[in-house]
Amino acid sequence: MIVLGSFGAIGGKKGRNERMVWFMLRRLMAAIPTLFIVVFLSFMIMHAAPGGPFDGERQLPPEIEQNLLAKYDLDKPLMTQFYLYVEGIVTEFDFGPSFKREDFTVTELIGQSWHVSARIGLSALTIALFAGATLGCMAALNQNSWIDYFVMALAMTGITIPSFVIAPVLSLFFGVWLNLLPSAGWNGGSLSNMILPVTALSLGPLAVIARLTRGGMIEVLRSNFVRTARAKGLPEGLVIRRHALRAGLLPVVSYLGPAMAALMTGSLVIEKIFGLPGLGRYFVDGALQRDYTLVLGVVILYSTLIITLNFVVDVMYGVLDPRVRASQ
Amino acid sequence: MTDAAIGGDAGKITEIKGRSLWDDARRRLFANKAAVTAMILLGLLFLMAIVGPWLSPHGFNEQNYSYTSGAPTLSAPTGEGGTTFYLFGTDANGRDIFSRTWIGARVSLAIGFVATAVSLVIGVVYGATAGFIGGRVDNLMMRIVDILYSIPHMFIFIILLVVFGRSGGWPNLLMLFAVIGALEWLTMGRIVRGQTLSVKEKEFIEAAEAAGVSNWTMIRRHIVPNVLGPVVVYMTLTVPGVIMIESFLSFLGLGVQEPLTSWGRLISEGAQEMETAPWMLLFPVLFMAMTLFCFNFIGDGLRDALDPKDR
């Protein structure tokens, strides 16, 4: 993604804007087919499933089964079903009825639960970004000191130990043994109930961000433009804040997409462990009960979010990094 | 290494007692204390995964209803008047956590290695093909990898397992191997392609070609050893990655099914009972974390040892 072009290649202002638009269009042309492929493949896999959604429990009379199939559009040809499904999502944000919770549509189930996942996910992302970048900077500015070693040891732990191990241990330690915080439950989203899940969820991305920031900053602090800034006699604090940070944090920007994906998958287990009524838990329950439409809806929603975010990050990268900007 | 040596026939090269890349790498790896410790620990873990379940008098599925959710002890009632021992305690069904932990280790490690092997085969073939052919084919093949990259894998695993996988027993395990391996080859493919591309252009390949080295010798002696380093390093990092994915899926109840167990399942069961029986959580977590740490330290050590830039 990073194309190292020469700085001399920057043309007139108009040419640059034009290039930027082309760049965005090209990225969009990659993002839309990707999304289509994800939706198409998930849809087809779901429909290739052995046994229909109404098999198993009891034998239905053929007329009733016919009615049921008609209600869920399952009697139509596969491509028509796919078309109707996509049309429903695009025009009305309608993901169809839930197969297992008959009184609900998938959209209603998502509507009930998304805010829980969004709250813990965004809190975890914010914490991971700020704490991770701060720790990474501290490590880079004190390379090979005890601070550096401590941060890197912490990062190694965060990367190797998965969240579903950290979460129960945190819950056991702070919730059960020390009895400081509630060990599980949502309680309307009160702060004390959010601390443990958000900590457990943010630790993995935090560790990666700390490592990326450290690497980026160490490289940038040795680069020519930072030397120039220092040679001009700028105070060290200003050199770091105004010159080094912007370039040093670029690797973190490109990690935003994967970070989001990590948080979404992480929230599946975190919500299960802490008993939070979020989207992840609906998804897991749906998967265990083979509620195809619910699973499909959540996958499509999450994939759209991730692919959109990746697109935004790509464009942002183009704006932030003069090297990419120049080469477009 | 001199060009004259390469220029001669392959038989002569082995006569020269030189320092090969691999000798150097081995020396450097064994000088790395963290990596050596990790290798010893991992060796012990492997050993326990093989013999561990037999060291306990209780089978991993054997229930003892007179000692359920029991703490680790040397004198537990057997239910027939005698006493027996449970080193790691028992779960809610009175099953021995010790043998369950090592059966879980067996399953988790097996999935880690087999899925890594699947991803290795796909990745090496795909990457090498793209790298050797180059041009448009390469471009297209790499765009496909880009697209697959931007798909959230965990959700695809879950969809596939929901649809095909939850039958229990070996078919289920095979499904897990295949599904994880089939999606985790992307990075391997990229690495192999990049290596192939850069090795293909190196002067020593040109020199060997000029000296009339046959194609097969060229691949065996020059290309493969140079591509292998990063592949081995990445493999060591794929195994813990796969173990984590498997545990994640098993934790959610989608991976390994009863009566078999894995670390993920054990941790999941332990997390539910942690207030009453913390040992159910403690031991699987401890050994899984240890395994993941060991693999990462060995991977880092290998990377340092095989990086020719350090020489």
Q: Give the model confidence (pLDDT) of B129-152 as tens digits.
A: 787 777 788 888 888 887 777 777
Task: Give me the helix-helix angle, A13-47 and A78-92, nearest 10°.
Answer: 130
The DSSP letter of residue A7 is: G
Is the pLDDT assigned to residue A53 strictly greater than 60?
no
pLDDT for the residue numbered B171: 65
> Is some CB atom of chain A closer than 8 A to the CB atom of B159?
yes
CA-CA-CA-CA torsion for A268, A272, A275, A276, nearest 10 degrees?
10
Q: Please give the DSSP secondary-structure letter assigned to residue B90.
A: B
Residues of A with CB below 8 A from B160's CB?
45
What's A61's DSSP letter? P
Interface residue A290 vs chain B (CB under 8 A): yes
A190: left (phi over 0), alpha (psi -120 to 50) or beta: beta
Closest among A114, A69, A25 to A297, alpha carbons compared: A114
pLDDT < 70: residue spans in chain B:
1-21, 59, 62, 64-71, 73-83, 85, 87, 94, 164-172, 215, 219-220, 224, 307-311
CA atoms A182, A183, A186, A187: torsion sign: negative
Report pLDDT for A150: 86
Confidence of residue A47 (pLDDT cuts 50, 70, 90): confident
**B290 has a chain A CB within 8 A of its CB:** no
What ipTM is given for this predicted complex? 0.74
Contact at CB, A299 and B159, closer than 8 angstroms: yes
Contact assessment for residue B276 and residue B27, using Cβ atoms and an 8 Å cutoff: no
Cross-chain Cβ contact B159/A42 below 8 Å: yes
Q: At A122, give phi and psi (nearest 5°).
A: -70, -40
Question: What span, in angstroms and rounded, lies between the C-alpha atoms of B44 and B298?
Answer: 15
Q: How far apart are alpha carbons B241 and B247 in whole angstroms?
A: 10
Best to test chain B binding among A40, A160, A285 (most B CBs inside 10 Å): A160
Residue B85's pLDDT is 67
- Which of B41, B139, B158, B258 is the best mutation test for A, with the most CBs of A within 10 A? B158
Cα-only R_g, chain A: 24
pLDDT tens-digit map of B18-71: 666 677 777 777 777 777 888 888 888 888 888 877 777 776 776 766 666 666
| A15 class by beta-carbon count within 10 Å (0-12 exposed, 13-18 middle, 19+ buried) | exposed
Whether A2 has a pLDDT exceeding 50, the answer reads no
Residue A127 pLDDT class (50, 70, 90 cuts): very high
Summary mean pLDDT of chain A = 77
Whole-model pTM over 0.80: no
Maximum average pLDDT range among A202-206, A290-294, B60-64: A202-206
* pLDDT, position B76: 65
Instruction: Give the integer Cα–Cα distance in Å for B129 and A47.
Output: 33
Residue A181, H or E segment: none
> How far is it, in rounded angstroms, from Cα B311 to Cα B308?
5
The distance of Cα A276 from the centroid of its chain, to the nearest Å, equals: 18
Cα(A282)–Cα(A303) distance, rounded to whole angstroms?
16
Task: Say whether pLDDT at A77 is over 80.
Answer: no
- Stronger pLDDT, A210 or A251, i.e. the higher one: A210
